[in-house]
Chains A and B, each alone.
Chain A
Amino acid sequence: MATESDVIVETKNLTKIYRDFWGRQKVRALKALDLEIHRGEIFGLLGPNGSGKTTTIKLLLGLLFPTSGEVNILGRTASDVSKNERLGYLPEESYLYRFLNAEETLDFYGRLFKIPGAVRRQRVDQLINMVGLESAKKRQLREYSKGMTRRIGLAQALINDPDVIFLDEPTSGLDPIGTRNMKDLILELKKQGKTIIMSSHLLGDVQDVCDRIGILYQGELKELGRVEDLLKVVEQTEIRVSYLSDDAKKKIEKVIEEDSDAKLEFWGNPTTSLEKLFNEIISESEARPGKRVRGGENTK
């Protein structure tokens, strides 16, 4: 179990209700979220469109004010600007000044961290190199394609060599190679001891890189735990054997038949995946709304 100081982000009963101008309730985007994210882990927020992933990240960053509940991030409140010194944030879409070019963009954000000139120039070059934009670094961002904007957005999030990085759908808009690079980069950042909080609905991506995930559905946390634990199907047993003879196969079938409870459901190559889990949770939640009593840490 992680120690207290290892908790980078903590939310208690975090709730967000979007209201209109007159204060009338529009959407309950997040319902009583309790969450702890630890130093050095990659945490994935999963959920269908409109489930509250972006809302959660914005609340953590102080871009939105919670309707109720608390956020503690790096030992500070979300409204304390000092926390930003050690943060990096890649928004859902890269919200950058379109009249600047790549170099100017990174230079500007570097200045906001008061990075000294020489170091800043070096970091800007290095990041532009890393995201593969050397050839376009003098072009204004208004001319950039979606993927290119995404890349410069990522570079911008890393300008201060942050300890905690928020990535809102990091792979959206990227080509397969870009996606691969992004995933490698995330793992590389983890190796450097950074904490990463990412949201995505691309399950493959999450499965590949995340240590722990939380699944949101209509603003409620439905599942929370380590990826390998969640994907372990406890009631099922999987035996993988190479070159099994027909004879042995028959014997095994017989043994299973002898077990009164056991029932042979499937015989073949199992395809348990995050996708399956995800779909299961969604359909279950649709059938029975409310908190789910099953699964990883959520059951405690």
Chain B
Amino acid sequence: MILENPIPPFQEWIGKAALSWAIAVLVLAALAFVVSFVLLLVFKGTKQAGTVFKTGVSDAWNDLIHFSWKRCFAVAGLAIRESVRKKVVVVGVVFIILLMFGGWFLDPDSKDPARLCASFVYQTTTYLVLLLALFLSSLSLPTDFKTKTIYTLVTKPVRSSEIVLGRIIGIGAVGTVILMLMACCSYFFVSNTLSHTHILNDAEDLTYVTDADPSTLAPDTVIAKGYTRLANGHKHQVEKYASGDLRVFEENKHIHGIEQTVRDGMVRYKIGPERGSLQAKVPLYGKIKFRNADSFERPRGINVGEEWEYRSYIAGATDEAIIWTFEGITPKKFAEGLPVEMTISVFRTHMGNIEKTIMGAMYVRNPVTGLTAETHVFNSEKYTTKALTIPVELNKSKVKTKPWVVKKMSDSESFGVQSASLPSKESYNLFEDFVVDGKLEIWLQCLDSQQYFGAAGPDLYLRAADANVFLNFFKGYLGVWQQMLIVISFGILFSTFLSGPVAMASTFGIIVAGFSKQLFIEIAHLQSLGGGPVESFNRLITHQNMMIDLPNTFSTHLGQTFDHIAGAFLSIIGLALPSFSDFNYYADCVANGYSVSSNAILVHLLTTVSFVAPLFVFAYVILRNREVAK
């Protein structure tokens, strides 16, 4: 499994993100301003509206210069006490019970148990923590209003901003502690579920294939084969070599160490704990482009029509190629060669021998001189991840005599690289002859005619390093933490002007809409099939197909007009809607064995702040101008 749509690098992301954020905040602020000013005019008249507005601004200024972290933390402390005394710990207990039941229902024979377990714990924690955040945040202020404790509070010098921020901090702290406890429980649960060993019995499980004396054979000759006993629904293939070494083959994405002891002439094997179920690979992604049959550079390849647009294709046995350009390749980082991992999609125009896999070739190419060497010929099955290592020393016979070219659309005549033969060398070194300023190209070609290879940018990457699995598991919870902060901020905002249950329902609405933001935006822009809400309802009750046009009547138009207004309204809400599904990145990373990148953390952290900060300001303005004793 490859992560799709990896997070864009921070530097590329920040400009566009900041702009769209600024626009959204400005639009919403302007809208809020206009609405409140009109309301003031209606209820207070022109003269008083001006005065009210002026005192409002000066009060806000006073609040700003008198803001105190001390008071803010006093309020935070109160929120923590409230949560603790109202026994939020119950959520933790619920979680542990869920884990216990989860253990029964998770399929133990899964081919990828680590992924299953990790997905399960992340999902459970996300739902529980968000639910907790929802309850705590949307009920806290309304309780103050209901019990009128707010009267005593706001007649102290505490500012509304401190009340709001203190609440966010306090509830955030409670949520953080609970989340950390859940993370620890989860780690324990996952490692406990994954941990197992197998039994291997010399006489019963291994078959000796030769009677020769092992010492007379080459050390890597297989002398015995077999399988371990079943555990967690699987068994491993085992081979014993003439050297006396044993190898346990990978199964369900993990391997085991093995030790043998000889006592009283009996050989005993001890298989160690599983290794590699949980991984934290650090991928180095390259930029993808395609070369077409005329050797021109293209951003995309062929669309084979069947697949969703995400991947695009090259035809086999032609000059077409998929090209990844990598940067930052140094001998220090990749002393052992370049570990490539790829998941190539295969599209067959004729089935031929279905058993036969499609052949492909991988090359490295110097991006400046065009010097190219073939590194691997491989056979590809659909959507299986392949791991290959490009060696540092490249065989002379694999180096192409002529440089390969890619023509840019702009310079159709001069190719940018000389097409003349390059002087041939006795030996080639990856870093000296192919990498220029840390840049290197990796090419893929499909070797079978009438068959196609497809890929998208993240489908091929270099496994640059492996991060600490334990730390990575906890890093994965940062996503839940960030979502929690956003939910808390929304809950607090709603609770500044809505009663408890309504605030809770609204926050819940935000969570649900946020998890399906894409669909929400489609509905808002009337892009979904069958039109907007009224039109869809009309179709529903009149049993009309989603595709046909409705009769051209007044009521149809009325409905569609309403839909446009509702659509505009929804679009505005859409601006303020967090895309919670983006945070699945974290769980996906951990579940699929990738390291959570600092870049992603940074991007998501800023996204979180971009929600929390304006929500805080809105909440402050509303609470400040609310008539407390009404």
Contact = CB atoms under 8 A, between A and B. Distances in A.
A58 B157 contact: no
B74 interface: yes
A184 interface: no
Contacts of B156: 84, 109, 112-113
A114 B627 CA distance: 25
Interface stretch (B147-155, B232-240, B614-622): B147-155
B43 A23 contact: yes
Contacts of B153: 112
B55 A77 contact: yes
Interface string A43-68: 00000000000000010011111001
Contact of A91 (B74, B85, B152, B630): B152
A95 B147 contact: yes
Contacts of A112: 71, 74, 153, 156-158
A113 B70 CA distance: 9
Contacts of B629: 58, 63-64
A98 B157 contact: no
B81 A99 contact: yes
Contacts of B627: 63-65
Interface residues of B, number: 34
Nearest to B159: A81
Contacts of B630: 64
6 contacts: A58-B151, A81-B159, A82-B66, A93-B148, A96-B149, A97-B149
Contact of B81 (A84, A89, A104): A104
Contact of A95 (B71, B82, B149, B157): B149
The 8 closest A-B pairs by CB, nearest first: A111-B74, A63-B629, A95-B148, A99-B85, A112-B156, A89-B155, A84-B157, A112-B158
A80 interface: yes
Given A62-B154, A63-B154, A95-B148, 8 more contacts: A61-B155, A84-B155, A84-B157, A95-B149, A97-B82, A99-B81, A111-B74, A140-B85
A80 B147 CA distance: 24
Nearest to B153: A112
B81 A79 contact: no
A87 interface: yes
Interface residues of A, number: 36
A242 B148 CA distance: 55
A4 B382 CA distance: 90
Interface of A: 23, 58, 61-65, 68, 77, 79-82, 84-85, 87, 89, 91, 93-100, 104, 108-109, 111-114, 140, 153, 156
**Is the contact region of chain B dominated by helix, strand, or loop, or is it mixed?**
helix
B62 interface: yes
A82 B85 CA distance: 32
A64 B628 CA distance: 6
B78 interface: yes
A81 to B, nearest CB: 6
Contact of A63 (B48, B63, B81, B151): B151
A19 to B, nearest CB: 9
Nearest to A61: B155
Contacts of B85: 99, 140
B543 interface: no
Nearest to B628: A63
B59 interface: yes
B51 to A, nearest CB: 10
A91 B62 contact: no
Contacts of B82: 97, 99
Interface string B44-86: 0000100000010001001100101011001001100110011
Contacts of B159: 81
Nearest to B143: A97
Contacts of A61: 155
A111 B78 CA distance: 11
A65 B626 CA distance: 9
A68 to B, nearest CB: 8
B130 to A, nearest CB: 24
A89 to B, nearest CB: 4
B558 to A, nearest CB: 26
A77 B70 CA distance: 25
A153 B152 CA distance: 9
B498 to A, nearest CB: 13
Contacts of A113: 156-157
Interface string B130-158: 00000000000000000111111111111
B63 A79 contact: no
Nearest to B52: A65
Contacts of A23: 43
Nearest to B86: A99
Contacts of B55: 77, 79
B627 to A, nearest CB: 5
A112 B72 CA distance: 8
A81 B81 contact: no
B63 A81 contact: yes
B47 to A, nearest CB: 11
Nearest to A76: B62
A98 B143 CA distance: 11
A99 B82 CA distance: 7
A100 B148 CA distance: 15
Contacts of A62: 154-155
B463 to A, nearest CB: 53
Nearest to A111: B74
A29 B154 CA distance: 22
A89 B154 CA distance: 10
A77 B54 CA distance: 12
B234 to A, nearest CB: 52
